[in-house]
Amino acid sequence: MNYKNFPMVPRVIFGRGSFNQLSEIISPKRLSSAAPFIYLVDDVFKSNSWLTSRISLSYDDRIIYISTKEEPKTSQVDTLVEEIILSTKARPSGIIGIGGGSVLDLAKAVSIMLTNEGETRLYQGWDLVKNPGLYHVGIPTLSGTGAEVSRTTVLTGPDKKLGINSDFTPFDQVVLDPELTKDVPCDQWFYTGMDCFIHSIESLKGTYLNAFSKTYGDMAFNLCQEVFLNNSALSKEETEDKLMMASWHGGMSIVYSQVGIAHAMSYGLSYVLGTKHGIGNCVVFDHLEEFYPEGVQLFKKMKMKHNIELPQGICAQLSEEEMNAMINIALGLEPLWENALGKNWKKRISSKQLKSLYLKM
Ligand code: NAD
Ligand code: ZN
């Protein structure tokens, strides 16, 4: 057996208000006065001085606001990298991403692409990155994806949606300040939180499971139940703290295993319909009782408790071609199916089954 040797986030600060310490954390990393820190910030914070007034800009430091209407694309990374190269006198000292999974992934990708040649799409895959990226810091403002700990950055390219999985992808520093999540709208809180719940289920019910993944997965699973089902004894602050830690553990759990069927099928929805990750996972998971009976039952309880109405019939209008594309994208994610159903997964799932599942969504 040849075990994989994974990198981890080497530094993390946790606590409400820890965001205030950002400038003292990063200032030793400044390479020169000509080498700025570039902040990629979700544009939902554009006129939010509670957050932005605490970003202290010196020399040529600057903030680039990022729209998260659509999830990150390889072409978007290329444009950002070019813009940064053209507008800075020296290679930046670091990239700081402040936002949900979308902005965290963009920050990781931009940091890599500032030190690696060619187009971003060439690096979608496993271990294709040659040079370490720039110093990069992740500051989540939305909990659930695990993007703050993961070794990947998920990007939609011209012909596939696939991560840049590499040893250079994880952040050099993460700032976990649960207070930054206080204004997330309820629906979004649920969808992205469920991403974490689904990570834990897919990891714990997968055939790749081992003690490393199980311990982290159990932790994420239990925290999600506390936050989404048994939260009557918890303050809002406590739920924010716990969900941020659930996200971290859910992300750690899949480092040494894989996600499963909900993610495979949600990637199909995303590629063909542009459905976002959190809501797409919920739409799919709602119909996966057959594969994850207890998990789906708990999910339905959580959905009811928080009055979440998922969209219906989103695949009803698809052409034959689009449906086939969706199925092919989903089935192409072989490790996810192998994790979910075992080595003989091809005997246990067919295009026909997938089509009938998609038509229910
Ligand atoms: P997101 O980053 O797309 O944000 C969703 C919405 O929430 C946006 O409208 C954003 O403006 C808003 N938002 C974020 N923080 C807010 C705050 N504090 N207050 C108010 N609004 C706020 O959503 P997400 O679910 O966190 O991320 C999804 C992305 O993460 C997808 O692109 C997915 O592919 C990626 N992802 C990556 C990994 C990984 O390991 N790299 C894992 C899972 C998902
Ligand atoms: Zn996910």
Q: What are the distances in angstroms from CA 358 to CA 123, 203, 266, 326?
A: 30, 22, 10, 9
Q: What would the two tokens of residue 209 be?
A: 């499971």
What's the confidence (pLDDT) of residue 14? 98
Work out the angle at residue 102's Cα, subtended by the Cα atoms of residues 270 and 224, and round it to the nearest 5 degrees: 85
Cα(212) to ligand 1 centroid in Å equals 26
Does the predicted TM-score (pTM) go above 0.85?
yes
Element (H, E) at 102: helix 101-113
What's the confidence (pLDDT) of residue 285? 98
> pLDDT (tens digit, 9 = 90+) per residue, 352-361?
999 999 999 9
Which amino acid would we find at residue 179? E
Cα(88) to ligand 2 centroid in Å equals 34
Pocket flag, ligand 1, residue 266 (CB < 6 Å): no
Atom 44 (ligand 1): residue with closest C-alpha?
145
Pocket flag, ligand 1, residue 76 (CB < 6 Å): no
| The pLDDT of residue 328 is above 90 | yes
Pocket flag, ligand 1, residue 161 (CB < 6 Å): no
What's the confidence (pLDDT) of residue 252? 97
Pairing of strands 136-140, 173-176: parallel
What's the confidence (pLDDT) of residue 27? 98
Pocket flag, ligand 1, residue 154 (CB < 6 Å): yes
Element (H, E) at 126: strand 125-126
> What is the rounded average pLDDT of the residues 8-13?
98
Pocket flag, ligand 1, residue 141 (CB < 6 Å): yes
Contact 256, 212 (CB under 8 A): yes
Pairing of strands 125-126, 161-165: parallel
| The pLDDT of residue 1 is above 90 | no
Nearest ligand 1 atom to the CA of 195 is 43
> pLDDT (tens digit, 9 = 90+) per residue, 269-313?
999 999 999 999 999 999 999 999 999 999 999 999 999 999 999
Q: What are the distances in angstroms from CA 59 to CA 34, 41, 135, 291, 351?
A: 7, 19, 18, 55, 56
> pLDDT (tens digit, 9 = 90+) per residue, 144-182?
999 999 999 999 998 888 899 999 999 999 999 999 999
115-127: string of b/e by CB count within 10 Å (b at 16+)?
ebeeebbebbeee
Cα(184) to ligand 1 centroid in Å equals 10
The average confidence (pLDDT) of the chain is: 97
Give dist(CA 150, CA 152) in Å, integer: 5
| The pLDDT of residue 350 is above 90 | yes
Ligand 1: which of 47, 102, 174, 275 to mutate, most ligand atoms within 8 Å of CB? 102
Sign of dihedral through CA atoms 234, 235, 238, 244? positive
End-to-end CA, the chain: 40
User: How would residue 123 be classed by pLDDT, with cut points 50, 70 and 90?
Assistant: very high
Ligand 1: which of 19, 43, 44, 161 to mutate, most ligand atoms within 8 Å of CB? 44
Give the rounded percent of residues in the chain with a pLDDT score beyond 90.
Answer: 96
| The pLDDT of residue 221 is above 90 | yes
| The pLDDT of residue 319 is above 90 | yes
What's the confidence (pLDDT) of residue 161? 87
Atom 5 (ligand 1): residue with closest C-alpha?
100
Strand ranges (E), 136-239: 136-140, 154-156, 161-165, 173-176
Which residue bears the tokens 């390219």? 157
Atom 30 (ligand 1): residue with closest C-alpha?
101
> pLDDT (tens digit, 9 = 90+) per residue, 24-37?
999 999 999 999 99
